Amino acid sequence: MVHAKKYGESGPALVIIHGLFGNADNWHSIAQSLAEHFTVYCLDLPNHGASSPLEDATYPKMASAILAWANAAKLTSFYLLGHSMGGKVAMQMAAMAKPNQIKKLIIADISPVDYQPGHTEIFKGLKAVNEADIQSRKQADTILSQFEPSLPIRQFLLKNLTKKDNNFSLVISLDNIANSYATILKKPEISAPIDTPTLFIKGEKSNYIIADYQNAIMALFPNAEFKMIPGTGHWLHAEKPAAFTGLVKRFLSK
């Protein structure tokens, strides 16, 4: 089961997929802005938010889950936007979807390449939160701060914290994600170039899209164009939402 939050009732469909450790709520403000022009669906990926757990979370399996949701929602054609890991899922979907089902594709700060591990301490911190008897968000943040010094990153991670009765817990299938992490770091499984019009948006300070990756991108997405948002890192949509939504609207309305 894939959980979705819908914004707006008119305009073409736009599906948004979050990144690793995220959920649909990360995109709430941007979805509200885009809902003036589109019917926006923000999804929880498998193992995240209110969506079902998924063992061995490969990109084809995650893409199949989202495409099955789209078919059940009767979305015969739609725009697709994915950030980070969600961008790789979106690329995989573009490779697996029916012809013309995905009209345009937007990839936020990720490339179709293999990446090196970089979340070891975050896994440890989230596991520590999971195993503790959490009575408050402050207590969870204190535990997580022993593993992740950045307050904005901790605030992002702790958006997965929900209250039930008097206790807090994480709505994330941490073991499944950890067991699938080596696969998540790899590039999507795409065997042929994808002609879908595609926009890659890079955060200026981020190293997830760099010049060395351009050949890999263009080999798989020959109909791609690139934009950069100055002064932003990997969380470019949260750091400069107005600039980000402006790029999205212009690309999709062309």
What span, in angstroms and rounded, lies between the C-alpha atoms of 159 and 137? 10
Task: Let me know: does 143 contact 125? Beta carbons within 8 Å.
Answer: yes
- And the tokens for 50? 């209110």
Per DSSP, the three-state class of 145 is coil
**Active-site residues: which are they?**
84, 234
| Torsion angle in degrees (nearest 10) through CA of 118, 90, 12, 227 | 60
**Cα–Cα distance, 138 to 158 (Å, whole number):** 10
CA dihedral (210, 216, 221, 223) positive or negative: positive
Give yes or no for a contact between 93 and 63, defined as CB atoms under 8 angstroms apart.
yes
Phi, psi of 80, rounded to the nearest 5 degrees: -135, 130
